[in-house]
Amino acid sequence: MNSDPTRGGIPERGAEPPSYLREGTTVRSWLTTTDHKRIGILYALAITFFFALGAVAAALIRAELVTPSGDFLTNDEYNQAFTLHGIVMVWFFLVPSIPATLGNFLLPMMIGAKDVAFPRLNLMSWYVFMAGGLLALFAILAGGVDTGWTFYTPFSTLYSNSHVLLAALGVFVVGFSSIATGVNFIATVHLLRARGMTWMRLPLFVWAMYTTSLVMVLATPVLAMSLLLVVAERAFGLPIFDPRSGGDPLLFQHLFWFYSHPAVYIMVLPAFGVVSEIITCEARRRIFGYQFMVYAMVVIAVIGFMVWGHHMFVSGQSAFASMVFSFLSFVIAVPSAIKVFNWTGTLYRGQIRFSAPMLYALGFIGLFTIGGLTGLFLASVPLDVHLTDTYFVVAHFHYIMVGGSVSAFFGGLHFWWPKITGRLYSERLAQFAAISMFFGFNFTFFPQFIMGTMGMPRRYHDYPPEFQPWHVMSSVGALVLGFGYLWPIFYLGWSLFRGERAPANPHGATGLEWQTRSPPPKDNFDRLLVVDQEPYLYHPKESTPDEVEQAHAKQKP
Amino acid sequence: MMPEASTLAPRIDHLFFALVGLSLVIVLLVGCLVAGFAVRYRRGSKAQRGQLPKWITRDVELGWTAATFFVAIFIFWFAASMQTSEFEIPNNAMEIHVVAKQWMWKLEHADGQREINTLHVPVGVPVRLVMTSQDAIHSFFVPAFRIKQDVLPGRYTETWFQATKPGTYHLFCAEYCGTDHSQMTGGIVVMPPAAFARWSEGAAAQGTLAAQGAVLFRQLGCSGCHGKSARVRAPSLAGLYGTRQPMAGGGFRQVDEEYLHDSIEQPQKDIVAGYTPVMPSYQGIASEGDIIRIIAYLKTLKAGGRQ
Ligand SMILES: [Cu+2]
Ligand SMILES: [Cu+2]
């Protein structure tokens, strides 16, 4: 079907070593592993736990909001629920989701390396992650936090009576695991590419990981710093944000968003990578405009650092600053739009199959487009004045981060599942999950655009009754969405034990990770790789997938 | 769908619906292309899949990059021109002072009337809100007017509106501020001018804000230093508002509410050129409400006459 990019490789040894899963099966062997694939799995287990925790909080919130008045949560409990949801989902699920699991597993394989550049640092990052997670869990068990995931001062430093210090420290610590992963990926891509794997032959997933890592390494220290300042004022009374002692409460918002806007791209660039891999493979086509796709990601990563002020249009920052931030926010919309067009262009004249990963990827395009377009509303200063801090914003970032990133994560999980586990899942059941997630998602979050436009403020435990119909819709949608998330547990779990054994390359994909066994051996490849081709050679340049398909068919008896 | 009750509202909605229209076009375009390709080029379909012409990638790519860029710049320009024209506060606006605290709104009219969580205003009159907070950050949000402005401790922020329709509209706190954030709500009651005049007659017993400020100015000992017969050398405050004051460290400061507020709460921050910084801080002594009154009083003092 496609020419073998490992052509010219030298066989290393005769006897096949066992797969990475068989290389030691004790708990100890897992907890002390430096194999990037196993660390990816350790991360996957950890973030699955946090995803479940965040989802429980979301369920509580949606249940509480079915009626306008408080039902079974007190004001404080409600505030803790959305704070928990935000903190856990952002830092303990979304930020590590694709990079630390799929990225860890795939990045070295995709560039033909045996492991990441610093395998022990990689393992350490997981322990740091767990330490941060434990601190955050401890904050929850001790009685919760009620600042919102944004930790706005001076509320968080002077007025909140909850466990802000523990939670802030948890997030502070987990930041170091991001930085470690980022440093590791950057070094890996620079140092460990196989012979012939030039920068412009890198799969887009690798580019996505690389740009994400740059953002992680540059932005996360700012988060660490701003959280330390919160700790300094709250625990030691150092006047930093308190205006009564000459501090500036807005300073925190500037620092926080200087990290948190780029963090949006930490969450969404990896999704771009996953979707590019899936769409090319399932449409059997080269990616449309490879170079533009690469530049778009680089531009997004850079300009992403210059738009943080769009979160502060009503905060009291100067009108001029708002105008500049508004302008840059419109500019950054362009490369994102380019990506959407290019994915669409990739479908043109393809041989599209609607496997579950492809359904997730197509869903991603739709939801990301809506999320991006509503971002334009919020980038316009006069409109943002009305819409910010309402459910419109809530809907907007869920479209990007849940509709976008989480869909892509699930798509990637399915796509590489055979490689990771060596088993096939039931395609039918998976397609059903992808479709219910898409509809459940829209059902949950589209009504939030409407009520947000009508003025429903976010983080409200009680609300005026005229918003109730929209809240009810949203909560019912959440049931469908919840099903879409739970259902894969069953068939994926089943496939682990009963699933059919996966061949090396079940999708007929071109990436190097598919040129080895499923599941791969500990050192990833049985022989040395030499790359002499661009990525995504689903069809030679001058022909179309159709011709390839036919030529292929003729060879078969 | 949502009431439009201020002069600003229809203009914001104009922009809103323009963007909705544009979004629909783009969603339909992308949606139809994706769906169309998905059907036409599904695996095994009979559709022709000839070669792509050579020019297609590069030119198409440059074309839609340029197109999206221009669309983005156009919307920016559309929005920004509205921002500059709509957010300028008219000079003749009626002034309301807003003090936010966990979890209530205190609103004060220039004539001394105070309200909690409710604000009465006349229809058709521009209203300027000068706001500050006693604790965390809050945000003054009236969806029907399409206005929102964060209210910060230790400084004044402003916004304005001109109501166009009588009625009662939601006032929300839009910046999360703790336990009862969702109870920090109220109503803006917009009344026809005659009804408003009748309503405001009812109060005024305590004297205007400025009159109350004059009393405080004596009670808090300001006049001891700033007054005519004071022994301490302190600058005259008459006619100060709106001028530019030279500072000890060099440079000038515009005397606005913010400056006066800081001069009272944090006198060490900006020291007037030529004076020794002996003025005590009134932080904790004068409440935000007191400071509003004193500022109202200082604004009434005309240059020339010493107090
Ligand atoms: Cu942002
Ligand atoms: Cu508030």
**Cβ contacts (< 8 Å) between B179 and chain A: which residues?**
75-76, 79, 146
pLDDT, averaged across chain A: 91
Q: Please enumerate in sequence order all residues whose Cβ is within 8 A of that of A378, keeping only pairs 6 or more positions apart, or say none.
A: A310, A384, A387, A388, A392, A393, A396
Provide mean pLDDT across the span A232-242.
92
Of B12, B73, B265, which has the smallest distance from its Cβ to A383's Cβ?
B12
Residue B283's pLDDT band (cuts 50, 70, 90): confident
pLDDT range class, residue A5, cuts 50, 70, 90: very low
The residue-averaged pLDDT of A89-102 equals 95
Is A454 in Cβ contact with B182 (below 8 Å)? no
> Using the beta-carbon criterion (under 8 Å), do A337 and B144 form an inter-chain contact?
no
Distances from the Cα of B18 to the Cαs of A43, A456, A555, B24, in angstroms? 45, 22, 56, 10
Q: Is there a contact between A93 and A267 (Cβ–Cβ < 8 Å)?
A: no
CB-CB neighbors (< 8 A) of A450 in chain B? 1
Asked whether the beta carbons of A334 and B69 are under 8 A apart, the reply is yes
Under 8 Å between Cβ of A285 and A355: no
Which two tokens mark A478? 């959440």
Nearest CA in chain A to B283: A244
Phi, psi dihedral angles at A292 (to 5 degrees): -60, -35
Contact B155 A316 (CB under 8 A): yes
Per the CB < 8 A criterion, the answer to whether A111 and A202 are in contact is yes
Is residue A58 scored above 50 in pLDDT?
A: yes
For residues A408 and A367, give the distance between their C-alpha atoms in angstroms, rounded to a whole number: 11
Mean pLDDT of A103-118: 94
The H helix count followed by the E strand count for chain B is: 7, 12
Go through the domains of chain A in sequence order and give each one's CATH number.
23-555 (1.20.210.10)
**Beta bridge pairs of residue B119:** B188
For residue B16 the two structure tokens come to 């809103």
CA of A309 from ligand 1 middle (Å) equals 8
Residue B280 has pLDDT above 70, yes or no: yes
pLDDT at B248 over 90: no
For residue B305, the distance in angstroms to the closest alpha carbon of chain A comes to: 33
pLDDT tier for residue A412 given thresholds of 50, 70 and 90: very high
Mean pLDDT of A74-87: 93
- Nearest Cα of chain B lies from the Cα of A427 at a distance, in angstroms, of 16
If one counts every other C-beta atom within 10 angstroms of the C-beta of residue B111, the result is: 16
pLDDT at A7 over 70: no
Strand order in the sheet with B157-162: B114-116, B104-109, B94-101, B126-133, B157-162
Q: What is the pLDDT of residue B278?
A: 82
- Please check whether the domain covering B209-300 is classified as CATH 3.40.50.720: no
Q: Model confidence at A245, in pLDDT bands (50, 70, 90)?
A: confident
Contact status, residue A375 vs residue A400, Cβ threshold 8 Å = yes
Cβ neighbours for B71, distance < 8 A, ≥ 6 positions apart: B22
pTM of the model: 0.86
Rounded CA-CA distance A198/B10 in Å is 55
**Which are the contacts of B256, defined by CB distance < 8 A and separation ≥ 6?**
B241, B242
**List of residues 6+ apart from A348 with CB closer than 8 A:** A285, A288, B37, B41, B52
Between the CA of A42 and the centroid of ligand 1 the distance, in Å, is 31
The Å distance, Cα A525 to ligand 2 centre, comes to: 59
pLDDT bracket for residue A543 (50, 70, 90): low
Per the model's pLDDT, the better-predicted residue between A83 and B2 turns out to be: A83
CA distance B75 to B85: 16
- What is the helix (H) or strand (E) element at residue A290, kind and residue range? helix A290-303
Q: Would you say A390 and A452 are in contact if contact means Cβ atoms under 8 Å apart?
A: yes
Pairing of strands B94-101, B104-109: antiparallel
- Ligand 2 center from residue A407 Cα (angstroms): 35
Q: Where is pLDDT greater, at A177 or A554?
A: A177
Poorest-pLDDT segment among A352-366, A447-461, A541-555, B13-27: A541-555
pLDDT at A8: 42
* φ/ψ of residue B83, rounded to 5: -60, -45
Q: Given pLDDT bands bounded at 50, 70 and 90, which one contains residue A1?
A: very low
CB atoms A334 and B82 under 8 Å: no
Please name every residue paired with B132 in a beta bridge, in sequence order, or none if there are none.
Answer: B99
Helix axes A290-303, A249-283, angle to 10 degrees: 170
For residue A396, list its beta bridge partners.
none
For every residue of A122-144, DSSP letters joined together read: HHHHHHHHHHHHHHHHHHHHTT-
Q: What are phi and psi of B157, to 5 degrees?
A: -120, 160
Give the CA radius of gyration of chain B.
27
Where is pLDDT greater, at B85 or B218? B218
CA of A156 to the centre of ligand 2 (A): 13
* CA proximity to A205, closest of A305, A263, A281: A281
% residues pLDDT > 70 (chain A): 94
B139 contacts in chain A (CB < 8 Å)? 314, 389
**Which residue did the predictor score with more confidence, B3 or A40?**
A40
Is the pLDDT at B265 greater than 80? The verdict is yes
- In this structure, of A150-159, A196-205, A408-417, B244-253, the range with the lowest mean pLDDT score is B244-253
Q: Would you call A321 exposed, middle or buried from its count of C-beta atoms within 10 A (0-12, 13-18, 19+)?
A: middle
CB A104 within 8 A of CB A524: no
Cβ-Cβ contacts under 8 Å, B68 against chain A: 333-334, 337-338
* Beta strand pairing call for B118-122 and B185-191: parallel
What is the model's pLDDT at position B205?
61
pLDDT of residue A11: 46
Cβ pair A115, A33 in contact under 8 A: no
Residues of chain A contacting B141 with CB distance shorter than 8 Å: 389, 455, 457
CB B281 within 8 A of CB B270: no
Q: Which ligand sits nearest to residue B139's alpha carbon?
A: 2
- Alpha-carbon gap, residue A275 to A270, rounded angstroms: 9
**B201: pLDDT confidence band, cut at 50, 70 and 90?**
confident
CA angle A272, A274, A280 (to 5 degrees): 95
B207/A554: higher pLDDT: B207
For residue B24, give every residue at least 6 positions away whose Cβ sits within 8 Å of its Cβ, in sequence order, or none: none
**Residue A58 to residue A286: CA distance in whole angstroms:** 39
Of the listed ligands, the closest to the CA of A384 is 1
DSSP classification of residue B281: P
Task: Kindly determine whether residue A75 and residue B176, on different chains, have CB atoms separated by under 8 Å.
Answer: no
- Sorted by sequence, the CB contacts under 8 Å of residue A485 that are 6+ apart come out as A55, A437
Ranges for all domains in chain B classified under CATH 1.10.760.10 = 209-300
Per-residue pLDDT, A3: 41
B78, B174, B269 member nearest A457 (Cβ): B174
pLDDT of residue A6: 45
Say how many Å lie between the CA of residue A260 and the centre of ligand 1: 7
Taking residues A262-289, report their average pLDDT. Answer: 93
What is the rounded distance in angstroms from the CA atom of residue B128 to the CA atom of residue B145? 13
Helix orientation angle between A290-303 and A319-347, rounded to the nearest 10 degrees: 160
Is residue A202 within 8 Å of A107, Cβ to Cβ?
no
pLDDT reported for residue B227: 76
Mean pLDDT, rounded, for A99-110: 96
Per-residue pLDDT, averaged over A537-544, amounts to 70
A95, A266 Cβ separation under 8 angstroms? yes
Please state whether the peptide bond connecting residue A487 to the residue before it is cis, i.e. omega within 30 degrees of 0.
no
Q: Which residues of B fall within a CB distance of 8 Å from A471?
A: none
pLDDT above 70 (res B32): yes
Residue A38 has a pLDDT of: 94
- Residues of chain A contacting B136 with CB distance shorter than 8 Å: 152, 154-155, 158-159
Instruction: Show the tokens assigned to A251.
Output: 């300073």
Cβ contact (<8 Å) for A155 and B2?
A: no
Is A2 a residue whose pLDDT tops 70? no
CATH superfamily to which B94-203 belongs: Cupredoxins -  blue copper proteins (2.60.40.420)
* B2-12 pLDDT tens trace: 889 999 999 99
How many Cα atoms within 13 Å fall on the side-chain side of residue A208?
Answer: 30
pLDDT band, very low/low/confident/very high, at A15 (cuts 50, 70, 90): low
Smallest CA-to-CA distance from A524 within A209, A107, A89 is with: A107
Please tell me the distance between residue A386's alpha carbon and the centre of ligand 2 in angstroms: 17
Chain B CA closest to residue A457: B174
**What are the φ/ψ torsions at residue B254 (nearest 5 degrees)?**
-75, 130
Q: Long-range contacts for B283-286 (Cβ within 8 Å, ≥24 apart)?
A: B283/A244, B285/B220, B286/B216, B286/B220
What residue of A is the nearest CA neighbor of B19? A377
Which tokens is B212 given?
Answer: 């109350």
Closest CA–CA distance from residue B191 to any residue of chain A (Å): 22
CB half-sphere exposure, A545, CA atoms < 13 A:
27
Q: How far is CA A153 from the centre of its chain?
A: 27
Domain ranges in chain B with CATH number 2.60.40.420: 94-203
Residue of A nearest to B158 (CA): A316
Is A12's pLDDT higher than 50?
no
DSSP B134-202: SSS-EEEEEGGGTEEEEE-BTS-EEEEEEB-S-EEEEEEE-S--STTGGG-EEEEEEE-HHHHHHHHHT
**Residue the block writes with tokens 């990638």:** B57
What's the CA gap between A393 and A388, in Å, rounded?
6
Residues B72, B106: contact at Cβ < 8 Å? no
Q: Is the pLDDT of residue A9 over 50?
A: no
The position carrying tokens 């329709």 is B165
Cα torsion for A459, A464, A465, A469, to the nearest 10°? Answer: -40
Minimum mean pLDDT range among A354-358, A454-458, B252-256: B252-256
> What ipTM did this prediction achieve?
0.89
Beta bridge partners of A167: none
What is the average per-residue pLDDT within A242-249?
A: 87
pLDDT tens column, B58-110: 778 888 889 999 999 999 998 888 877 677 788 888 999 999 988 889 998 88
CB pairs < 8 Å spanning A and B? 250
Q: How many Å lie between the centroid of ligand 2 and the Cα of residue B137? A: 7
What are the structure tokens assigned to A300, written together? Answer: 């997004």
Report the range of poorest mean pLDDT among A281-295, A510-524, B78-92, B188-202.
Answer: B78-92
Q: Compute the average pLDDT of residues B25-33.
A: 94
Cα B101 from Cα B288, distance rounded (Å)? 10
B3 prior amide bond cis, ω within 30: no
DSSP states along B3-57: ---BSHHHHHHHHHHHHHHHHHHHHHHHHHHHHHHHHHTBTT------PPPTTHH
Q: What is the pLDDT of residue A78?
A: 94
- CA gap A433, A492 in Å, rounded: 11
Q: What is the pLDDT of residue A114?
A: 92
Cα dihedral across residues A25, A30, A32, A37: positive or negative: positive
- B179 contacts A347? CB cut-off 8 A: no
